[in-house]
Structure 1
Amino acid sequence: MSNYTPPPAIPDFIKDVPGLLRWETTSREEAVVQASAFTKDTFTYDEVYGRFCTIEEYIDAPPEVVFDYLNDMRNLNEYTYSTRDFAPVEGKPGLFVGKDTLPDDNTKIYMRFEPNREALTIDMHCAWDQGDELWMIYLYRIVDAQRVLKKPGSVVLWTNCRHPYYDKNPYPETVPNPERPWVGDFWNLFYAGHAIEMQNLKKILEFHYGHGANQAGADS
């Protein structure tokens, strides 16, 4: 008797979709060839971070602690490089305004948080100069490290999508100084800048709440 098992029928919902790479339609050898085309020894910055900029880090602190710290807007003063002094905007509940010291002028940055404690996610919606369209969105997800790394602590994922407004300011009339650079001019530094801020976050939380830091202090 033959041990051959014919592949299952392709579901009707996808049978007419062109270009799908699935076991039922593509041999293992051909799939490896196509997968290899995505694998190179080196990648350009734009290939990796041109459309999306994601950073990730392990933090030796409980997920709920990380969530609470990130969800307190006052703490932007501590772990970010340049955003400071947020205060509520009168008449607009949930909207805050602060300053971004990255440019050499009085740049306002507006911010609104959309947290989900159950999912351990925080979406930080912000924009320079105006608060009507918060198009710069920083997506945070906190994962229990016990699930993914089998040790206490948190894995923090932070993603920024390259919104088209990064390439051109849609509100030039709100700019305080026409000579000021636009936030999108710094896109090629987003990974480095956010990685630095992530390290600030890690150092702060591990200093105060980290199991390893506390143990080191107890042993010294």
Structure 2
Amino acid sequence: MTIELPALCDLPEETIPGILRIENSDKDETTPILVDMLRSVYPHNQVFGEYCPVNAYIAAPPREVYEYLADTRSLEEWTYSLRGFEETEEPGLWVSDDRIGKNTKIYTRTVANPDAMTVDYHCAWDQGQHLWMIYLIRVVDAQLVFNKPGSVVLWTNCHHPFYDKNPYPETAPKGRPVWVGDFWDMFSAGHQIEMDNMKAICEYRAANGLPIKPKWMD
């Protein structure tokens, strides 16, 4: 995989197997993987209809994991499709490309609490005035809950009604065939891929004596 963005530039190519990003697995290649992760032994909507929870243990220090996630630019590394972050003229508001949508800009503001180690990403496609897509993340010291070093990351999304219908169609790029809510039924599987990416990246850096938050974010 050729890395042209600063994301993961501190690591040699192909050193972390199993990471799925849009650069090495496009939407068509990844969709069957997502579908295979959805189990038919329970009603998917019953479990993931209103909320999408994804959790993981990460063998890396919790404060360092928190500080990594609290930097909006970390999304360029561990998310599947958010790339090219630039801060807008409004301090703290970033714009990037969501490559899962055609010509789609996504706006992100990170609201972080260092005492509680919570990181909430307030996002929206197409416009940055109403950030209604809220990604709620909490980092927990694994010593407290598992009696071992490391981090537990809890991540939940809520099914905002705007996922069902674009509230700002006038801001959408012309000819885009999809809306973010079209993917809600795959959020659980898609977010699990991203959580696995986060875990792999943080654990690799921790195991190899590298800062969890890379120097290019300083």
Q: TM-score by structure 1 length?
A: 0.75
Instruction: Give the structure, 1 or 2, with the largest relative contact order (CA under 8 Å, sep 6 or more).
Output: 2
Of the candidates 185, 189, 201, which is equivalent to residue 188 of structure 1? 185
Q: Which residue of 1 aligns with 2:70?
A: 71
- Count the aligned residue pairs: 170
1:159: Cα distance to partner? 0.3
Q: Does residue 1:120 correspond to 2:117, yes or no?
A: yes
Could you tell me which amino acid in structure 1 is paired with residue 201 of structure 2?
I
Q: TM-score by structure 2 length?
A: 0.75
RMSD: 1.5
Q: Distance in 1 between matches of 2:74 and 2:119?
A: 14
1:19-168 aligned within 5 A: 42-90=41-89, 92-103=90-101, 105-168=102-165
Show structure 2 runs of 5+ residues with no match. 1-40, 210-218
Show structure 1 runs of 5+ residues with no match. 1-41, 215-220
Could you tell me which amino acid in structure 1 is paired with residue 177 of structure 2?
R
**CA offsets, 1:146-191, max 9 Å, x none?**
0100000000000000000000000000110244200000001100
Pick the structure with greater CA Rg. Answer: 1
Give the match's secondary structure for 2:188: helix
> Kindly, what percent of the aligned residue pairs are identical?
56
Q: Distance in 2 between matches of 1:148 and 1:177?
A: 48
Of the structure 1 ranges 147-156 and 70-79, higher mean CA displacement relative to structure 2 is found in 70-79
1:106: Cα distance to partner? 1.1
Moved over 6 A (4+): none
Give the match's secondary structure for 2:92: coil
